[in-house]
């Protein structure tokens, strides 16, 4: 079928479709189907936007019903029953049981929108400009978010100096050779250090794009306590690691910390619809009405599916318990795969994990071999040296094992331990 239009008309800025040239037409659960009838197992999940798989039937039915009844689709920040239901459900199922008292802001529908809002709010509240972020961080592509992102290629794309932020070492950046926060602690206490006191520190608990570095809970706790002592705000960017990806709804829950500001997006709608939240402690709610706005802050289809997704998956702990078993299966499967390549190792946490290879280009080859075998996996890290596995959190066990089997074959093929696949998997 024709694919010329993508090459001739669409900008060369596109990237995923360069590695995965298939034209995907339909999708259900962990599978995507191409227009010529092949089936792909999706261990990419829209980079974390599809934590409950594609087109969850109950959520899909709600979308259809809402549209068929002419429910309000676009509403700026006006009141709708869909928004009421989302806010009530979020409060009841997510905030109250976790003892979290956050104001909810709808900042515009993407991850980078919630990061921009968080940075702006931190600066306004503290009256300070400087933001600290971490080596290999990824927070988005708009200028504020880009200024706290690590990747040099992406930063260069800004075309202007990215100022008012500095990078500090993420957990284990010096392979454990230096005590954590030795520099930060010292410069914050030294009035001659020349380091301006920051408004906030922004952190991912697992660096989804930066190579699946996973911070230890003790490290997060220490960061939290250090910032509290110095009255610096802690922003957790849970855009990718949140909504259950690491095994709990918020990725910071096992650390027992309460960030001042939390960025949520990707899977919050439960259905892959664009939606984002910026959560912050009530005392930080110093915005003037309309001081930060945006046309697409009221995605009612997103509110409808988000509320139901929270009820379906988070109203008790049964989904989380089941997920813990799947996480164990994923990790033991990955460990087994690492036995084939000396020096490879498992990285990440929960269902935001992968395998790092000693030769950086191995990961790309593995992803390409996986694609040949109808499995979608992407790479992560400054040199794309990590194969990243992000299956849907509700993936049936047999599909999880199937994906791991294909991954193993792909690793063997990419490292010259197996020939070409004898034939592609038959279309379904
Ligand atoms: N923060 C994190 C941690 C992310 O992983 C991403 C996207 N990969 C973003 C922010 C930006 O989200 P978006 O692409 O929706 O702007």
- Provide the CATH number for the domain around residue 11: 3.90.1150.10
User: Does 120 share its domain with 205?
Assistant: yes
Q: Is the pLDDT of residue 422 over 60?
A: no
Evaluate whether residue 77 is within a structural domain: yes
Phi, psi for residue 357 in degrees, rounded to 5: -115, 145
User: Does 295 share its domain with 180?
Assistant: yes
Q: Is the pLDDT of residue 181 over 60?
A: yes
User: Does 79 share its domain with 183?
Assistant: yes
Q: What is the pLDDT of residues 234-266, one digit of tens each?
A: 999 999 999 999 999 999 999 999 999 999 999
Model confidence at 428, in pLDDT bands (50, 70, 90)? very low
Q: What is the pLDDT of residues 74-114, one digit of tens each?
A: 999 999 999 999 999 999 999 999 999 999 999 999 999 99
Mean pLDDT of the chain: 96
Evaluate whether residue 428 is within a structural domain: no
Tokens of 260: 């001042």
With a CB cutoff of 8 Å and minimum separation 6, the contacts of 347 are 211, 212, 213, 214, 353, 354, 355, 356, 386
Q: What is the pLDDT of residue 140?
A: 98
- Separation of CA 380 and ligand 1 centre (Å): 13
Q: What is the pLDDT of residue 105?
A: 98
Q: What is the pLDDT of residue 90?
A: 99
Evaluate whether residue 427 is within a structural domain: no
CATH of the domain at 77: 3.40.640.10
User: Does 231 share its domain with 253?
Assistant: yes
User: Does 155 share its domain with 258?
Assistant: yes
The last residue of one of the domains, among 264, 293, 314, is: 314
Q: What is the pLDDT of residue 425?
A: 52
Classify residue 190 as exposed, middle or buried by CB count within 10 Å of its CB (0-12, 13-18, 19+).
exposed
User: Does 393 share its domain with 300?
Assistant: no
Average pLDDT over residues 275-281: 98
Percent above pLDDT 70 for the chain: 98
Q: Is the pLDDT of residue 71 over 60?
A: yes
With a CB cutoff of 8 Å and minimum separation 6, the contacts of 337 are 344, 355, 404, 407, 408, 411
pTM over 0.75: yes
User: Does 122 share its domain with 160?
Assistant: yes
User: Does 309 share its domain with 241?
Assistant: yes
User: Does 289 share its domain with 141?
Assistant: yes
Rounded to 5°, the CA angle 66-72-116 comes to: 110
Evaluate whether residue 168 is within a structural domain: yes
Pocket test for ligand 1, best of 51, 109, 265 (most atoms within 8 A of CB): 265
The last residue of one of the domains, among 314, 346, 378, is: 314
Atom of ligand 1 nearest to the CA of 237: 3
- Separation of CA 208 and ligand 1 centre (Å): 9
Alpha-carbon distance values, 361 to 114, 368, 369, 384, 386 (Å): 33, 11, 13, 7, 9
User: Does 45 share its domain with 149?
Assistant: no
Q: What is the pLDDT of residue 419?
A: 65
User: Does 94 share its domain with 52?
Assistant: no
Strand order of the β-sheet with 375-376 is 24-28, 31-34, 39-42, 375-376
Q: What is the pLDDT of residues 146-168, one digit of tens each?
A: 999 999 999 999 999 999 999 99
How many domains would you assign to the chain?
Answer: 2
Evaluate whether residue 45 is within a structural domain: yes
- Separation of CA 398 and ligand 1 centre (Å): 30
Rounded to 5°, the CA angle 350-398-393 comes to: 30
- Separation of CA 367 and ligand 1 centre (Å): 21
User: Does 129 share its domain with 226?
Assistant: yes
Which residues in 265-289 are b (16+ Cβ under 10 Å) and which e? Answer: bbbbbbbbbbbbbbbbbeebeebee
Show the domain range for 46. 4-56+317-414
Evaluate whether residue 88 is within a structural domain: yes
The last residue of one of the domains, among 281, 314, 347, is: 314
Q: What is the pLDDT of residue 420?
A: 61
Atom 5 of ligand 1 has which residue's CA nearest to it? 240
Atom 14 of ligand 1 has which residue's CA nearest to it? 111
The strand pairing partners of 88, in sequence order, are none
Lowest mean pLDDT among 125-139, 174-188, 293-307, 391-405: 174-188
- Separation of CA 113 and ligand 1 centre (Å): 9
CA distance 392 to 380: 18
Which residues in 115-154 are b (16+ Cβ under 10 Å) and which e? Answer: bbbbbbbbbbbbebebbbbbbbbbbbebebbbbbbbbeee
Average pLDDT over residues 304-320: 98
Give residues (CB < 6 A) around ligand 1: 47, 110-112, 115, 138-140, 204, 208-209, 237, 239-240, 265
Model confidence at 427, in pLDDT bands (50, 70, 90)? very low
Evaluate whether residue 49 is within a structural domain: yes
Evaluate whether residue 299 is within a structural domain: yes
């Amino acid at each position: 079928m024709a694919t010329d239009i993508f090459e001739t008309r669409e900008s060369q800025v596109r990237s995923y479709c360069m590695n995965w040239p298939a034209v995907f037409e339909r999708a259900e659960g962990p599978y995507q189907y191409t227009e010529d009838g092949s089936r792909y197992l999706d261990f990419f999940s829209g980079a974390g936007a599809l934590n409950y798989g594609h087109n969850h039937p109950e959520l899909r039915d709600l979308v259809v019903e809402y549209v068929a009844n002419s429910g309000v689709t676009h509403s700026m920040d006006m009141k709708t029953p869909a928004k009421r239901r989302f806010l009530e459900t979020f409060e009841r199922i997510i905030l109250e049981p976790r003892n979290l008292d956050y104001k909810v802001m709808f900042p515009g529908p993407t991850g980078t929108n919630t990061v921009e809002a968080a940075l702006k709010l931190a600066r306004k509240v503290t009256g300070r400009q400087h933001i600290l972020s971490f080596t290999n961080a990824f927070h988005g592509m708009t200028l504020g978010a880009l200024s706290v992102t690590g990747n040099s290629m992406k930063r260069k794309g800004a075309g202007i100096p990215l100022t008012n932020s500095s990078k500090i070492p993420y957990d284990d950046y010096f392979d454990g050779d230096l005590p954590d926060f030795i520099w930060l602690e010292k410069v914050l206490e030294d009035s001659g250090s020349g380091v301006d006191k920051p408004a906030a520190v922004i952190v991912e608990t697992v660096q989804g794009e930066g190579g699946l570095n996973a911070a230890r809970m003790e490290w997060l706790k220490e960061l939290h306590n250090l910032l509290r002592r110095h009255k610096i705000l802690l922003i957790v960017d849970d855009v990718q690691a949140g909504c259950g990806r690491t095994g709990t709804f918020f990725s910071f829950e096992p650390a027992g910390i309460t960030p001042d500001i939390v960025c949520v997006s990707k899977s919050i709608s439960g259905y892959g619809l664009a939606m984002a939240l910026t959560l912050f402690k009530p005392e930080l709610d110093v915005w003037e009405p309309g001081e930060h706005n945006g046309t697409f802050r009221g995605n009612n289809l997103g509110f409808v599916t988000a509320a139901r997704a929270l009820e379906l998956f988070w109203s008790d702990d049964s989904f989380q318990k089941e997920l813990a078993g799947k996480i164990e299966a994923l990790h033991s499967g990955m460990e087994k795969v690492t036995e084939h390549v000396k020096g490879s190792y498992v990285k990440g946490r929960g269902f935001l994990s992968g395998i790092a290879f000693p030769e950086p280009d191995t990961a790309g080859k593995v992803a390409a071999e996986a694609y040949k075998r109808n499995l979608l996996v992407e790479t992560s890290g400054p040199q794309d040296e990590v194969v990243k596995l992000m299956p849907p959190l509700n993936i049936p066990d047999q599909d999880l094992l199937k994906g791991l089997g294909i991954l193993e074959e792909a690793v063997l093929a990419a490292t010259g331990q197996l020939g070409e696949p004898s034939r592609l998997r038959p279309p379904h």
